[in-house]
Amino acid sequence: MQKAVFFDRDGVINIDTEYVYKIEDFVYVDGFLDLFRSCKEKGFLLFVVTNQSGIGRGYYTLDDFLKLSAFMQSDLNTRFGFCFDKIYYCAHNAESACECRKPKSGMIEQALNDFDIDLSCSYIIGDKESDIEAGINGGIKTTILFNRYNAKSKADFIVDSLYKVNSIIN
């Protein structure tokens, strides 16, 4: 079994300017690239688990999302020689009764079906409580909330900088 790190996209990987789907609007969050490289060096599988309700709401298309995801994967591969092992997404709007939209754990369950993951030594990093709840609901051992406002949370750790996450993940 392998250990894994699950990353929310908007707000953790890239700066969240609401409904990011254009390559020119995609900017990495400070500290993400160092954290990403470090997690792979520590032997983790790396996954994206992201709600993309903008697709369900008609703000952008699935093709737009897939193009941006391909750009991100290519950019990471160019920088480091590796990229995310898989990107999981929920394209449904918030009103949907789907099982994949965080805080439900459908995307994590899909990763468990696709890979041999040991959740007892895995992590989820998110910027919203729904990310943390998805991790808890999915059985991930350690949850990390990246939030500059010290919000109350069920998370195991709350950090105001992604640079601090590296000392948590081992």
Given a cut of 70, whether residue 150 has pLDDT beyond it is: no
pLDDT in tens, 89-115: 999 988 888 999 999 999 999 999 999
Question: What local confidence, expressed as pLDDT, does residue 95 receive?
Answer: 81
> Residue 148 is part of a domain; what is its CATH number?
3.40.50.1000
Output the 3-class SS for the chain: CECEEEECCECCCECCCCCCCCHHHCCECCCHHHHHHHHHHCCCEEEEEEECHHHHCCCCCHHHHHHHHHHHHHHHHHHHCCCCCEEEEECCCCCCCCCCCCCCCHHHHHHHHHCCECHHHCEEEECCHHHHHHHHHHCCCEEEEECCCCCCCCCCEEECCHHHHHHCCC
Number of domain units in the chain: 1
21, pLDDT greater than 80: yes
Domain encompassing residue 55: 4-167
Q: What residues are labeled active site?
A: 8, 10
pTM for this model (two decimals): 0.96
pLDDT digits (tens, 9 = 90+) for 38-54: 999 999 999 999 999 99
